[in-house]
Amino acid sequence: MAKLTEKKSTTDWLILANVLAAAVLLNMLASLCFFRWDLTEEKRFTIKPQTKELLKNLDEDVFIEVFLEGELNPSFKRFRNSIRETLNEFKVYSNRKVSFAFTNPAAAKGGKA
């Protein structure tokens, strides 16, 4: 009976190790792919195919400076995060031809903003 319990325990540990290894492998594979599911009814966060095509066919690099950094109230922070997510998607679809930076308008040099 002791051998049966020991064998079952070993089997349980092997199953756990395999499940963990599969989870790590799946996570690594998923990190290589970019995808996003927009579950909103109006497809609010979906980038249109025309925009993806435009970004894919950019001839030159594009730099976007966003003056939305610093001490912000919560609604502006959500807005900034939403813009950052969209710009990250633009970066992916443009093959890294789109780059961006967030700047604090209060600390901007040379009268910018």
Stretch 71-89: mean pLDDT: 94
- Residue 3 confidence (pLDDT) above 90: no
Strand partners, 98: 62
All structural domains of the chain with their residue ranges = 1-33, 36-113
Nearest to 84 by CA among 96, 101, 105: 101
Report the distance separating Cα 98 and Cα 34, nearest Å: 16
Is this model's pTM higher than 0.85 or not?
no
